[in-house]
Each structure stands twice: as structure tokens, then as C-alpha cells.
Amino acid sequence: MSADIQRDILIVGAGAAGMYAAISAARNGASVLLVDKSIIGRGGATVMAQMTVAAAIGSQTDDHWSVHLEDTLKSGRNLCDPTLARVLCQEAPERIREMDAWNVGWARENGLIRQVTAPGHRQPRCVYVDFLNTGPAVSGTLRKQVIQSSGVDRLSGVTIIELKHQDQRVCGAIGIEIDTGRRVSIAAKSVILAAGGLTRLFDRNSASLNMGGDAYALALQAGADLIDMEFVQFFPIGHLAPRLVGMDPIMWDPFRYKLGGRLLNGQRQEFAENYGLSDSGTYSAPRDEASFAILREVASGRGSPAGGAYLSFEHIPETQLRSAFGPVIDRLKNNGIDLCTAPVEVAPIAHYHMGGIRVNEQMQTNIEGLYAAGEAVGGANGANRLSGNAISEAFVFGERAGRFAAHYRDGEFLWREEWSNTQAADLNDHRDPVNPCTLGRVLTELQKTLWEDVGLVRNGTGLTKALNRIRHLRDEVAQLYVPADDGYIPCLREWHDLGASLLVAETIALGALTRTESRGAHQRSDYENTDPDQEHHLVIGLQHRTPRITGSVAVQ
């Protein structure tokens, strides 16, 4: 055994899902290494989240997890994995109460945890931390618990580039220190992938820089299955104009459903109900339907000047705005945005991925010892995620992944010595050296390709074009090598990241081309109707380094 580090469980990604998994695994007796590209608990999607967390805790109304489940299944357009969706809804209240016991600071009213209604929910079941602080509060609370967990070691600034496996069992991973380029080998009895989603791959997105699909690529290359990769959620009211600096582009969601912001076209008319949506003043329209309504208004020449829609709070008194969002109102004014006197412009933006790694209810993949949690998991949300379910999913799936991975840890470490000695960049042969400008150009082209041809509305011609272009870019990047410079290897992380992103992008386009119907977030102009015969999940595996549709799984 010559791995640099040896732990029972390696967790890749340290957002809410990864940190909860670490806490859960440690309290079940496992030794844990929690690894992240960023600083532990400060990177990824969770810390950016400003909105609500859905759970049927029944604090202020008579609610039950089964009703939450019904809303989740309906939002998913008959494509949710019912087992995963049930686990999510049934266990979310326990996780919310545990976070409350850890003093996360859920907003309260008359001593009870306050709950509000979000799009797609029949009950006010979404909890939050005041003044758009939900994500930072969640991250900070979990970070404290991780620090206090004696069985958890933390490793920031390391990107995992490869999982090692033997006899269909994961044995550990190879990573790279971002600052030095030094190679790190990690032996583990099980691995949990919790590195988030992929929406950075789209030109307009709400993602952090490290949301490039790492978890999906690592799983795929290790032999695990992916599922539902065609379903990318576009948040309907992402900020468009005027310029917004240092604030989340999807911040308008809680503003709208708490205060009743009016969604208007370029002629200052409410329009959602023209598309069969009951939305006026309530913000009750599901995200996919609201996105397509805005898109159709713009296509009909009734968009706002920047190419979206207006979101207006001009009818809301400033005292009410300040009561709900406090210091955020002044931050907006510092950006030149006065909600009392003028609307903002909004438009759909890539926000979340419903697809991901295929797991069972114990969060285990088809590869022994390999687990997934949070947004890395596919199937639970079907064709359209219900608002508020993302952080609940991170809590629930993270806790389960850590618990079941800890129970699995019996047995020997299977690390092979030669894995520790393989060089990280041993490609100095006939290939061309990496140029940072080339990597930047390819990423920009990838983002543009996905936005234009694999975005909100798709068709066979555009998807075929995108698939061919992505494959060409993959070949181009594969012909590069990363030369060392006095022991340091510039661009090594970016090269690996881009290769992973291109691989994952191919799975999105492949799934979208194969699904010849419109369902939820997947809309095709050449197949406008939902096809009952396609009420199944598409499964993607890797064959000869190329993603392939390997089967389909009917919804039970």
C-alpha cells in the first residue's frame, strides 16, 4: 500500500450534500476524507442558494410528506423515480429539524418555523433563513458540524481526476493539488460523489465555476450509469438587466413569491395566463412552463428591451420590501436598482440538472463501493424539479449516502501500488502542448453550442449539429498534452476539467436527441407533444470512451 492518504470513505465535493455525507459517515463510525476544489463548505451551489428548502414539517399548516411527494411527482411530469422521490419527501422533515437543532436559524413566526408557498406546492412548506441567507447559513452550519466531527479530515484545493477500481469495486482516487500540480493518491473502501451539477456548461447560467459536471464524468469513466441527462432546468426569472454586480442572478424567486412580483411583457402586460398558467400575483407556475411562456413572448416580439420580460415590484410599498428583505434593498440600490420606481428585466437561465448518476435508495451506483449524493444524483426529480427540493435533496441524499457507505466499509483496501506511481501527465508524445487560449476558446464554444442547440427549445437538426460539434471538440482536446514547467504543470486542472465537461455535454445532447417528445424541461419543436410511450428513463453508459444509450428504465 503506497497511497498518500488512506481513509474508509472519500467524499468528492463539499457543498451541503458532501458535508452532510461526511457528518453522517463519521457518526456511523467511518474515517472520512472530504475533498473539494474550493475551500471546504465555501464553493459550489449551496453557499450561493438564497431561496427556500421544501419539507412537510407541518409547522404552520396541516401538511404531510405524502402531499409533498404528490407535488414532486406532478412537477416531474410522470418521470420521477418514485422510490427516490419518496425517500426525499419522507426524510426531509427530519433533516430540517436536525439543522434547526444545529442552530441554522430558520425564520420563525410565533415561535414556529415559518413556511411559505413556492411554485408547484399546494401547501406553505418551504423554510428559509431571512434576508436571502439560506445558502450561507446552511453552509456555515454544516461546516461547523464537519469541523466538530472527529472522524472527518478536510482537503481543500484538490481536484479529483480519476476513480480507481478493481473487480467492479471502487478502491480510491487520484487527485491534483490545484496550486502546485502535485499528484495525490487516495485509497478508500468507498467513494461518494457529491460534486454537484453541470449548468456552467451553458452560456447563460447561475452556476459557480466548479459546476462543470465532474461527478458525472468521474462516475461514467468508472463504469457507472447516468440517467435522465437530457433534463436541464432553466430558472425562468434569472437577472438580465440592468447590470447586477456581486449578487445572485436568480435572487428574484423569493422576491416574487413572497411579495407577488408581476411578470410583464415588453408592453407592460401580464402574459402568463395567456399560456394556460395561473400565475398572476401568486407565482404559482412551474419553472419549465414559466420559462417557455417568457420565451414565446420574446419570439412573438413582445419581449423587454434586453430580450426577456419585466419583473415589477412597483406596486409594493418600500416598507413591505424592507420588512421582507432588509439590507438587500440597499445593496440593490447600490447597484442602481430601485424596485419601488422601476422593474428589472429577467429571462431563463440554466440553473439545475435533473439528470445524473443512477443510484438505488441507498445511494449506491451499479459499481460496488461507489455512491452519489445531492445534485449528482439523477432520477428523483424527473423532467422538472419542484421548487425548494434542491437543498432538501442535498440533506437527505447526503445523509443516506454517508450512512450506507459507512455500513459498507468492511473488507480490505484494494489499492494497487502502481496506481500511486503513475504520472499525472504522461502524454508527452506526438500530441500538441496545451495553450491556455485554446482551453478558453473550447469552453466558450461549448457553452455557446449547448445554449443555442441544446437549450430551452431543441430540435433534431440542432441536436445532431451540437452532438457532432461536441465530439469534434472532445477530439481536439484529447490531442493536447500538458507539459511540466520545472515540476509545476500549468493548465493541468483546466485541461482535465474541460475534458470532463465535454464528455458530460455529449451525454446531454445524446439524451436530448434520443428523447423524441416534449416533457418538462425537455422541449422539442419537432416533437411538441408528450408521448406516453416514452415514460421511461434513458440510461447512458460509456463504451469505448464514447457515451451510448445502454437501455431504458420504465417508471414504476
The per-residue pLDDT for 8 is 96
With a cut of 80, say whether residue 409 has pLDDT above it: no
Indicate whether 359 belongs to any domain.
Answer: no
How far apart are alpha carbons 222 and 24 in whole angstroms? 24
How far apart are alpha carbons 420 and 417 in whole angstroms? 6
- Which of 329, 349, 369 lies at the terminal end of a domain, its last residue? 349
Co-location of 549 and 454 in the same domain: yes
Q: What is the mean pLDDT of residues 229-242?
A: 96
The per-residue pLDDT for 180 is 82
Q: Which residues contact 474 (CB under 8 A, 6 or more apart)?
A: 499, 502, 503, 506
DSSP code, position 519: B
With a cut of 50, say whether residue 129 has pLDDT above it: yes
pLDDT band per the 50, 70, 90 thresholds, residue 282: low
Indicate whether 86 belongs to any domain.
Answer: no
Co-location of 520 and 430 in the same domain: yes
Write out pLDDT tens, residues 248-270. 899 998 888 888 889 999 999 99
What the block records as the C-alpha cell of 313 is 415590484
Which of 9-23, 140-154, 269-283 is the least confident region?
Answer: 269-283
Indicate whether 133 belongs to any domain.
Answer: no
The per-residue pLDDT for 161 is 94
The per-residue pLDDT for 482 is 74
Co-location of 337 and 429 in the same domain: no
Indicate whether 243 belongs to any domain.
Answer: yes
The per-residue pLDDT for 281 is 64
With a cut of 80, say whether residue 428 has pLDDT above it: no
Neighbouring C-beta atoms of residue 186, cutoff 10 Å: 26
The per-residue pLDDT for 414 is 84
Q: What's 488's domain CATH number?
A: 1.20.58.100
With a cut of 70, say whether residue 361 has pLDDT above it: yes
Beta strands in 59-204 (DSSP E): 108-109, 112-113, 126-127, 152-156, 158-166, 169-177, 183-193
pLDDT band per the 50, 70, 90 thresholds, residue 1: low
Q: Which residues contact 41 (CB under 8 A, 6 or more apart)?
A: 14, 15, 19, 47, 139, 140, 142, 143, 146
Indicate whether 215 belongs to any domain.
Answer: no
Q: What's 291's domain CATH number?
A: 3.90.700.10
Give helix 460-478 / helix 436-453 axis angle, nearest 10°. 170
pLDDT band per the 50, 70, 90 thresholds, residue 422: low
Q: Partners of 390 in the beta sheet?
A: none
Q: What is the mean pLDDT of residues 373-377?
A: 98
Q: What angle is formed at CA 270 by the lines to CA 268 and CA 275, rounded to 5 degrees?
A: 135
* Residue 533, CA distances (Å) to 75, 78, 517, 522, 528 in order: 19, 12, 10, 16, 14
What domain range is 300 assigned to?
238-349
Indicate whether 371 belongs to any domain.
Answer: no
Q: What is the mean pLDDT of residues 536-542?
A: 98
Write out pLDDT tens, residues 481-517. 777 665 566 688 889 999 999 999 999 999 999 999 9
Question: In the chain, how many domains are there?
Answer: 2
Write out pLDDT tens, residues 292-344. 999 999 999 999 999 999 999 999 999 999 999 999 999 999 999 999 999 99
The per-residue pLDDT for 429 is 46
The per-residue pLDDT for 290 is 92
Q: What is the mean pLDDT of residues 372-376?
A: 98
The per-residue pLDDT for 257 is 80
Residue pair 61/339 in contact (Cβ under 8 Å)? The answer is no
Which of 72-86, 222-236, 242-256, 476-490 is the least confident region?
Answer: 476-490
With a cut of 70, say whether residue 2 has pLDDT above it: no
- Which of 296, 321, 349 lies at the terminal end of a domain, its last residue? 349
What the block records as the C-alpha cell of 334 is 447600490
pTM: 0.96
Write out pLDDT tens, residues 336-355. 999 999 999 999 999 999 99
Indicate whether 546 belongs to any domain.
Answer: yes
pLDDT mean across residues, the chain: 92
Indicate whether 332 belongs to any domain.
Answer: yes
Q: What is the mean pLDDT of residues 442-453?
A: 98
Co-location of 546 and 451 in the same domain: yes
The per-residue pLDDT for 427 is 38
Co-location of 340 and 434 in the same domain: no
Share of the chain above pLDDT 70, in %: 96
- Which of 289, 317, 349 lies at the terminal end of a domain, its last residue? 349
Written as one string, the DSSP assignment of 358-416 is: ---TTSB-SSBTEEE-GGGB-STTTTSPPTTHHHHHHHHHHHHHHHHHHHH--S-----
Co-location of 432 and 317 in the same domain: no
